[in-house]
Structure 1
């Protein structure tokens, strides 16, 4: 008998990912420093590296900053397209063949990437092999695929709208707590054991996660007999790809015009907010390594851990606001304002204390994501959850990857005259989801529940689906 608990998967995935993520830019930065300057990277026990060899440090720092930013850009560009395609395919396909396919595949890809990083670090291989490994791992999907599968899994289990919102927010909280613990430990881990051990530990956690997903996690979607696909047109492969191509189309085609407009507006709010938030945060580590902060690995670990507390505080804020009857759109607006304020303050942070304090206005920054996911999930039928979250995961991955590429190149171009420019731009871009949120308010989001029922009634053959316990084995 398996378990209907996806939270342990998310927890270990977050810990394994954030054990490595803060180290990736640091490792690339140090290797590029050695290659470009032919000097040893300055490691100091002080809170700032700027005090060491200050005369030579400034001349090398700008060159390495640009090279590290461009390396990150190339990595994202090579992995973006395959990752997006696989995300769209696997999460949509999970409506028919089960959610686990969208969960297991990206775990395999993450394991490949982590083992490649371990090999490059341990054997001191060519740094650009990391770009090739990111391309290979992207063929299995990325974090968007994994989370899309997990959110679809939760949507299958939850019937009540508020329960769905809180459980999706709980996933974000789990990500925050475990990634915070991982980020906090990376600095000490790096100083005590170097880069190899964190990569190895991350690989072990990913292996454990993979075993849990394959052998313990129970499937929520009732998989049809193996010959069901063949019965439709004589070719199981053709039938599968036909559903794959038409799943998202039917999600929009079967809905009313008002529902489709509302869904598109919510997707645009999600996309633009994800772009601004992800772009603003993409260069934080490089900004902290740059002058005048010049943080060492310990401070970067503390900063990353403090940043991940927003997942916990956002969950608490969402739970409190929901119990107080605050409308969903107001909760989203508060989260957008939180990000806008925090990113604007980062642009002017010139001291260690200030860089820590700018995290405070961003404590509610994650609230919009689970609310938007829940709002979209409530206005589509049960059989369309995979198609919906494929769209959500696709636009989230697309906006995140494009934002990373755009802001990495922008940071490289502006680091010489004003490193904080990219943060100010990201803050200003938050006005776009706010305007779109106003359009959602004018459309009348308070009718979501009724619209959801209307949507189910309009879809042929779906009238009794909501009460079909065979679709949700956890309720049987």
Structure 2
């Protein structure tokens, strides 16, 4: 049977399953730690509030510290293997096919979902979730999967306009399904507990895996005489190094400086934004908000509107003639305002306003992991005297990408002539054609 070249159903199911389980993790860990540290049952009924007089602030502080440290360990043990596998697999897929970057992360997600289900059903040690995070990271992660899917789309498109439209469609699918999953999580959890949502996630990943293996057609066929099969790891790393070299080769000093500034801008912004977002659920569970699972689901859904609004916003600003640097500036300022609002939020309304301002671009795996580790450790230290400190720090760190953005703007203003092809930020295909038949030297 001839396979299909439709990646959208795969992305849809993966997005729904992933965003169905993400809000569950911190809530499950929080409830288990609450029971262990306070020797009391976690209050979930309408008549028993965690913020009532019977539950002192010291209980909240102890549980918050333990939960943030749990998040630190989980991110630490999953980030390193995930980053390494992502770099190797995405580079390897450029020669050997995209499906490996799609199938392996699905296996890892299935392993994690089944492990989470086992811990919840049999009430095993909650720290086994850290072990399962490490094991699933060996198969790649979200960055690997999305990188493979967008590369798959790029392989199928014949021109830039078609590529942009289809990638925007994939982005919209992620936004719609992730928002739907986030809203569903709260109601699902309230009605059926943790086991049934986790079982549903495992089933969805199984269906997705079957589709990816047996239905989805490979978009990139390796050449029959391709020698890469003899040493895939070595050649993948070599290909990645060559790509980095080609990015900076045959270019002016000004272009390289501009590229470095843009990379630093992206990384610093990602660090500040993801660092704050990774702790939102813990902050919502703490006093004085004390959100239940329904409100947490709506908050998560609101934050996923980035996938729906980012493309529409950029397209609207571009049609109105707004410069690219101004669009970036708007995004950074929105995060600064959002994190500042969250740091002093005492009511549900202010928290939702912060989530609205936090509609920004999707960020990479490295910044995600490192930021979560750093901010989780800081939250554990500061939760006793000022729980909003990490969000205030996140807003302050946005000054770094703002300063880098000013540097980029000054470089563009001082440019007296139109940049040539060699001065473009990313060399065109014609600039790289000289390397087709020879390997560029590695520096």
Q: What is the TM-score normalised by the length of structure 1?
A: 0.83
Secondary structure (helix, strand or coil) at the match of 2:60 reads: helix
Secondary structure (helix, strand or coil) at the match of 1:358 reads: helix
Q: Are the equivalent residues in 2 in contact too, given 1:32–1:64 (CA < 8 A)?
A: yes
Residue 121 of structure 1: aligned partner? 120
Q: CA RMSD in A?
A: 2.5
Residue 439 of structure 1: aligned partner? 407
Q: Are the equivalent residues in 1 in contact too, given 2:29–2:67 (CA < 8 A)?
A: yes
Q: Are the equivalent residues in 1 in contact too, given 2:302–2:356 (CA < 8 A)?
A: no
Residue 178 of structure 2: aligned partner? 179
Give CA-to-partner distance per residue, 1:211-249, whole Å, 9 cap, x none: 222223232223111x5317xxxxx433x3342122122
In the alignment, is residue 5 of structure 1 matched against residue 6 of structure 2? yes
1:293 pairs with one of 283, 286, 289: 289
Q: Are the equivalent residues in 2 in contact too, given 1:44–1:296 (CA < 8 A)?
A: no
In the alignment, is residue 130 of structure 1 matched against residue 164 of structure 2? no
2:250 pairs with one of 253, 256, 259: 256
Residue 245 of structure 1: aligned partner? 237
1:456 pairs with one of 424, 429, 432: 429
Residue 298 of structure 2: aligned partner? 302
Q: Are the equivalent residues in 1 in contact too, given 2:12–2:177 (CA < 8 A)?
A: yes
Q: CA deviation at 1:295?
A: 0.8
> 2:326 and 2:103 mapped to 1: Cα distance?
36
> 2:158 and 2:397 mapped to 1: Cα distance?
35
1:229 pairs with one of 227, 230, 234: 227
Within a 5 Å distance, the mapping from 1:214-363 to structure 2 comes to 214-225=213-224, 227-229=225-227, 236-238=229-231, 240-254=232-246, 255-258=249-252, 260-363=256-359
Listed as ranges, the gaps of 5+ residues in structure 1 are: 231-235, 370-392, 465-476
Q: CA deviation at 1:343?
A: 1.0
> 1:441 and 1:162 mapped to 2: Cα distance?
27
2:368 pairs with one of 388, 392, 400: 400
| Larger deviation, residues 247-256 vs 337-346 | 247-256
Give CA-to-partner distance per residue, 1:4-59, whole Å, 9 cap, x none: 3322222211110111110100100111111111110011327x93454x233423
Give CA-to-partner distance per residue, 1:143-162, whole Å, 9 cap, x none: 11111112222333345445
Residue 104 of structure 2: aligned partner? 105
Q: CA deviation at 1:80?
A: 1.3
Q: What is the TM-score normalised by the length of structure 2?
A: 0.89
Residue 17 of structure 1: aligned partner? 18
Q: Are the equivalent residues in 1 in contact too, given 2:15–2:174 (CA < 8 A)?
A: yes
> 1:434 and 1:5 mapped to 2: Cα distance?
39
Secondary structure (helix, strand or coil) at the match of 2:305 reads: helix
Q: CA deviation at 1:190?
A: 0.8
Q: 1:463/1:88 Cα in 2 relative to 1: closer, same or farther (>3 Å)? A: closer
Listed as ranges, the gaps of 5+ residues in structure 2 are: 438-443
Q: 1:141/1:420 Cα in 2 relative to 1: closer, same or farther (>3 Å)? A: same
Q: Are the equivalent residues in 2 in contact too, given 1:22–1:304 (CA < 8 A)?
A: yes
| Larger deviation, residues 110-119 vs 338-347 | 338-347
Residue 84 of structure 1: aligned partner? 83
Residue 194 of structure 2: aligned partner? 195
Q: Are the equivalent residues in 1 in contact too, given 2:51–2:288 (CA < 8 A)?
A: no
> 2:46 and 2:171 mapped to 1: Cα distance?
34
Secondary structure (helix, strand or coil) at the match of 1:113 reads: helix
Q: CA deviation at 1:183?
A: 0.9
Q: CA deviation at 1:126?
A: 1.2
Q: 1:193/1:326 Cα in 2 relative to 1: closer, same or farther (>3 Å)? A: same
Q: 1:337/1:15 Cα in 2 relative to 1: closer, same or farther (>3 Å)? A: same
